Amino acid sequence: MNPLELRGPEFLLLYALLAAAAIPAGYLLRRVAKGAGVSDLSVRAPLSAPEIAYLRGGVGAVAEATLATLLRRGTIAVDDTGERLVLASPAGGIASTSSLESEFLASLEPGASWPAGDMRDGVAAVAIRLAEPLERQGLAFSAEEQRSLGLVFCLPMLAVLVLGLAKIAVGLSRGRPVSILVVVCIATAMATVAMFRHRPIVTAAGRDALRRARVQNEALRETASRRTANLSPDDVALAAALFGLGAVADPSLQTLQRQLQPRRREADSGSSSSHSSGSSSSCGSSSGSSCGSSSGSSCGSGCGGGGGCGGCGG
Amino acid sequence: MSGSRLGLGIGWRPELALLCERRADLGFVEITVENFPEGTALPRSLRQLQERGVAVIPHGISLSLGGAEPVDQARIDRLAWMAERCAAPVASEHIAFVRAGGTEIGHLTPIPRTRASVEAVVANVRRVRETLGVPLALENIAALFEWPDAEMDESEFVRTILDESGALLLVDVSNLHANARNLGADTAALIAGLPLERIAYCHVGGGAERDGLYMDTHTDPVPPAAIALLRQLSAVARPPGAMLERDGNFPPDADTNRELDAIRDALEGHESVA
């Protein structure tokens, strides 16, 4: 059966089915292309918080974790408007920071202020250099590998698109109406481009390393999600790196969480374009317990006697 | 002595999970049964503590063992389920009632020290023990008042209940301290009269004075008097374990660790340097 000889409605039905199948086929092909990614994690040095953040969500996640650390350390602060970030610590206070932080801080103009998004882009521009050592360790894909994987992912959809274009040519040669198929092919082309740009940045070994680090730091997640007053800046950095800004219950991070929340969600998906957010930086140049629960529990927090009502008793 | 050595412990709360993980000398943690939804898995960080040998003890607050009504079987089942899930060496509850006639009181409320109360508690404890697969320890509570016409003193009351029910003893030294402050109880006499050979472990919690009364809040620092009582108790009984109860207003970990150090030293019979 030659699909190009099918009648219009029948061809459109076949085309729709093939397009729907192209997505799982793309995933399958990409999985095969990515390989098992098995590596010996035992011989690696422990990953730093920025490296872990990169594995979770690329340079965007690195930037968020870094800004959380700098805020917690008091190196940067939220200005009086509550909407912009400023360099707060004197130069001496920067000495103890990592090279990544130092490089970013050196790009900041003292006295200026920036929206959190701009600061994030500034850190991301510096953080891009984290990729190379992770790629060497087999934890992250290089830019070339990402492009190849994007191509593999979109190949089935591209084949469907070629079939549609061929049918348009056949239809035009026979003087048949092709307007519906043209619209469908435009949609298919857009889907193909989207699939091409949907590139994984982390290898299977990288995902495994992240999973292990999360398991090892489960107690940190429990505590950081409830109270952070007692956590060190390094604890906050690791919690933000592993679990994202939203998992850190720190009032001083509210501005970051509010302004970066949409992009955080994207980063948390773990398959965003890795380097896109680090392509430009605008930093450095901008101016601008109650008692009596019905369950019978005598104290909600577990003390057993109504801690909020004059003592626990238990 | 009533069982295996537990050592130093703390009431596990998510806010203290990291501290628990970093505290290498913890022998056990206590969890409040009612804080864990039925049927859910234990938090992973708790399971990780178990994997390194830290015992997990379920502590109930809603059985109302001192109530005149039989204990709700569903609540017993829940405590037993949690004890099994935790592979706990012991479970614990209070000598108190928290509801009557279907009304929740919202407090662990003292019961009259009468023969009738003993029989009610013993009957309830026996019901619990029929289902519970591990020993049950009963805790003395802090009271802001005493019922009139007591037929026995506190130590005799507790001893009789334990003797007749077969339960173990959970000594809350902070509650002893609170009762001494608020009711004029003689802690030395009480300790001397308690069945110390049945101690499963001890509680040490913080408190504060409000409106002329000492409140066992679990949200304030541990009073030195409570540590002194634990040391006094350890000198005559060597309890298998002792733990800190902290339920809110969490201080810096350094402060919590100092309190834990003091409890450990008192348990081991040393003078704390904190």
Which range is least confidently modeled, A16-20, A303-307, B92-96?
Answer: A303-307
Interchain proximity B107–A294, CB inside 8 Å: no
Q: For residues B172 and B244, is the Cβ–Cβ distance under 8 A?
A: no
**pLDDT, tens digit, 9 for 90 and up, residues B187-201:** 999 999 999 999 999
Mean pLDDT of chain A: 78
Task: Judge if ipTM > 0.95.
Answer: no
Interchain proximity B144–A226, CB inside 8 Å: no
Q: Which residues contact A47 (CB under 8 A, 6 or more apart)?
A: A55, A209, A213
State how far the Cα of B174 lies from the Cα of A153, in Å rounded to an integer. Answer: 65
**pLDDT, tens digit, 9 for 90 and up, residues A171-193:** 999 888 889 999 999 999 999 99
Give how far A307 is from chain B: nearest CA, Å: 5
Interchain proximity B108–A222, CB inside 8 Å: no
Pick the closest to residue B66 from B92, B97, B39 (CA basis): B97
Of A222, A226, A305, which has the smallest distance from its Cβ to B108's Cβ? A305
State how far the Cα of B247 lies from the Cα of B217, in Å rounded to an integer. Answer: 8
Contacts of A250 in chain B (CB under 8 A): none
Of A294, A299, A313, which has the smallest distance from its Cβ to B142's Cβ? A313
Interchain proximity A297–B216, CB inside 8 Å: no
- Let me know if residue B273 belongs to a domain: no
- Let me know if residue B274 belongs to a domain: no
State how far the Cα of B79 lies from the Cα of B56, in Å rounded to an integer. Answer: 13
Query: pLDDT value at position A276?
Result: 34
- Let me know if residue B120 belongs to a domain: yes
State how far the Cα of A17 lies from the Cα of A3, in Å rounded to an integer. Answer: 13
Secondary element (H or E) of residue A87: strand A84-87
Residue A23 corresponds to which tokens in the numbers above?
């997505």
- Let me know if residue B272 belongs to a domain: no
Query: pLDDT value at position A312?
Result: 60
Query: pLDDT value at position B172?
Result: 97
Contacts of B106 in chain A (CB under 8 A): 291-293, 298, 306, 309
Give how far A79 is from chain B: nearest CA, Å: 27
Give how far B206 is from chain A: nearest CA, Å: 10
Of A221, A229, A298, which has the smallest distance from its Cβ to B107's Cβ? A298
- Let me know if residue B230 belongs to a domain: yes
The CATH number given to whatever domain includes residue B22 is: 3.20.20.150
- Let me know if residue B236 belongs to a domain: yes
Q: What is the DSSP letter of A140?
A: B
Torsion of CA B27, B32, B38, B39, to 10 degrees: -10
Interchain proximity B106–A289, CB inside 8 Å: no
Using pLDDT thresholds of 50, 70 and 90, give the confidence band for residue A92. Answer: very low
- Let me know if residue B177 belongs to a domain: yes
Interchain proximity B18–A219, CB inside 8 Å: yes
**Per-residue pLDDT averaged across B147-165, rounded?**
94
Residue A242 corresponds to which tokens in the numbers above?
């592993």
**Per-residue pLDDT averaged across A211-228, rounded?**
93
**Per-residue pLDDT averaged across A236-246, rounded?**
92
**pLDDT, tens digit, 9 for 90 and up, residues A124-158:** 888 888 888 898 888 988 888 888 888 889 999 99
**pLDDT, tens digit, 9 for 90 and up, residues B41-69:** 899 999 999 999 999 999 999 999 999 99
- Let me know if residue B104 belongs to a domain: yes
Give how far A101 is from chain B: nearest CA, Å: 26
Give how far A298 is from chain B: nearest CA, Å: 4
The whole-angstrom distance between residue B104's C-alpha and the CA centroid of its chain comes to: 21
**pLDDT, tens digit, 9 for 90 and up, residues A262-306:** 544 444 444 333 333 333 333 333 333 333 333 333 343 344 333
Q: Which domain holds residue B99?
A: 7-267
For chain B, what is the domain count? 1
Contacts of B45 in chain A (CB under 8 A): 218-219, 221-222
Query: pLDDT value at position B40?
Result: 84
